Amino acid sequence: MATPAATKRLTKEYAAISKSPPPYIIAHPSEKNILEWHYILTGPPDTPYEGGQYWGTLMFPPDYPFAPPAIRMHTPSGRFQPSTRLCLSISDFHPKSFNPAWEVSTILTGLLSFMTSEEMTTGSVRASEQERKLFAQRTRWWNSTGGGSKQTIQQQGSSNSKGFGAIKAGDGGAKFRLEWPELDEENLKWMKEKRINPQTGLTMPVTPQPHCSAEAAGLVRRPNGSGNRVGAVVQDGLVVRDAGQSWVSRNKWRLVFGALFSYILVARMLGDGALQSSA
């Protein structure tokens, strides 16, 4: 349980960091325990962590600010071991070097600075720049799904080899959702827009749509049913066929009978003229 001095100090610091958060940093205490703080570091530009969403906790001792907090980063980053206590001059590994004048914003700014360096310490890991970029791309998915597991926070059990305040991978995102509901909602929308598989964190392939001709599409869209449409198509086909034929082709029999009639008429006229001449 926090001492009155610690509660007063942390309440004051929460008001300050909410009003004027440091660049790329947001943080708040848990509603149930003012000694448990949750932070989000956004990966700064021109770093392998650019755009990444790194979630972690600060576990303050009851006599803060006369002793430093335990610092953990839960989101896999390629820089720190997830949920492992970090050995820093501002963490509980070095209580004698901690300055009571340092605030939450000071601690988190120091953590971000250390993260973007290559200095090694207890809890840090080595990874290539490309590997860290890949981790950054998957941070939102990991935070909101706990790495793709459906396990709930109640199923985790109380034992955790990494100590109090650690987040067990595979909690289904329950703890993150509890502490950061707005960010969790944004993450889920982002996953939907980017077609991210919640189980794997990978982009789902686009299912090809079956090809459909314009004529067939017209049949599907016709509200009066396919039978009427088929009759209309046949009728339209006849019109098109007739339009494509010449006038002579369509009236050939009339021309034939007309020519025959004209021949007979002319022949009779010529025959009558010949008889009159002989007479």
Predicted local distance difference test score (pLDDT) of residue 276: 54
Q: Which residue has the tokens 């909101």?
A: 144
Predicted local distance difference test score (pLDDT) of residue 226: 45
Q: Which stretches of the chain drop beneath a pLDDT of 50?
A: 150-161, 219-220, 222-223, 225-234, 236-241, 243-244, 275
Nearest-Å Rg of the Cα atoms of the chain is: 41
In the chain the first and final C-alpha atoms are separated, in Å, by 149
Predicted local distance difference test score (pLDDT) of residue 271: 64
Distance of CA 239 to the CA centre of its chain: 52
DSSP 8-state secondary structure symbol assigned to residue 209: P
Predicted local distance difference test score (pLDDT) of residue 264: 72
Burial of 87 (0-12, 13-18, 19+ CB in 10 A): middle
Report how far residue 180's alpha carbon sits from residue 271's, in angstroms, rounded to the nearest whole number. Answer: 113
Q: Are strands 70-73 and 36-42 parallel, antiparallel or unpaired?
A: unpaired
Fold of 4-193: Ubiquitin Conjugating Enzyme (3.10.110)
Q: Are 97 and 28 in contact (CB under 8 A)?
A: no
Predicted local distance difference test score (pLDDT) of residue 215: 55
Handedness of CA 21, 36, 188, 80 (dihedral sign): positive
Handedness of CA 9, 12, 18, 19 (dihedral sign): negative
Predicted local distance difference test score (pLDDT) of residue 148: 82
Predicted local distance difference test score (pLDDT) of residue 243: 45
Predicted local distance difference test score (pLDDT) of residue 172: 76
Predicted local distance difference test score (pLDDT) of residue 147: 87
Domain range summary for the chain, segments of one domain joined by +: 4-193, 214-278
Neighbour order of strands in the sheet with 36-42:
25-29, 36-42, 53-59, 70-73
Predicted local distance difference test score (pLDDT) of residue 247: 56
Q: Are 68 and 94 in contact (CB under 8 A)?
A: yes
Active-site annotation holder among 26, 67, 87, 169:
87
Residue-wise pLDDT tens digits, 60-104: 999 999 999 999 999 999 999 999 999 999 999 999 999 999 999
Half-sphere exposure of 219 (CA within 13 A, CB side): 12
212 flagged as catalytic: no
